Amino acid sequence: MISEFPRVRFAPSPTGYLHIGGLRTALYNYLFAKKTGGKFILRIEDTDRARFVEGAVENLISTMNWSGLHYDEGPGIGGEYGPYIQSERLEIYKEHTEKLLESGKAYYCFCSKERLDFLRDGQKAKGEQSVYDKHCLKLTPEEVAEKLKDGLPYVVRMNVVANQRVHVKDIIRGNIDFDTNTIDDQVLIKSDGFPTYHLANVVDDHLMKITHTIRGEEWLPSTPKHVLLYQAFGWEVPVFAHLPLLLNPDRSKLSKRQGDVAVEDYRAKGYLKEALINFIALLGWNAGDDREFYYMNELVDSFSLDRINKSGAVFNLEKLDWLNAEHLRAKSDSELASLLKEELITIGEYSDDFSDELLEKVVVAMKERVKFIKEIPQNAGYFFAKPDSYDEKGIQKGWKEDTPGLLTSYMQKLKVSLIHLKKIMKLL
Express each pLDDT in 390-413 by its tens digit: 777 777 777 787 888 888 888 988
SS3 127: coil
Beta-carbon contacts of 411 under 8 Å, excluding residues fewer than 6 positions away, are: none
The pLDDT tens digits for 208-225 are 999 999 999 999 999 999
Q: For 296-310, what is each residue's pLDDT tens digit?
A: 999 999 999 999 999
The pLDDT-based confidence of 25 (bands split at 50, 70, 90) is very high
Which CATH number is associated with domain 331-383?
A: 1.10.8.70
Residue 75, SS3 per DSSP: coil
Instruction: Say whether pLDDT at 372 is over 70.
Output: yes
Class of the 1-79+244-330 domain?
alpha beta
Residues 336-356: pLDDT tens digits? Answer: 999 999 999 999 988 888 999
**What is residue 3's predicted lDDT score, i.e. its pLDDT?**
56
pLDDT band for position 49 (cuts 50, 70, 90): confident
Query: 242 in helix, strand or coil?
Result: strand
Tell me the whole-structure pTM to 2 decimals. Answer: 0.89
Write the CB contacts of 238 (distance below 8 Å, at least 6 apart in sequence).
2, 205, 210, 211, 212, 213
| Residue 428, pLDDT above cutoff 70 | no
Q: Are 173 and 310 in contact (CB under 8 A)?
A: yes
Amino acid residing at 153: P
94 included as an active-site residue: no
- Of 99, 253, 256, 413, the catalytic one is 256
pLDDT for 364 equals: 95
Share of the chain above pLDDT 70, in %: 98
The whole-angstrom distance between residue 376's C-alpha and the CA centroid of its chain comes to 29
Q: Is 426 a residue whose pLDDT tops 80?
A: no
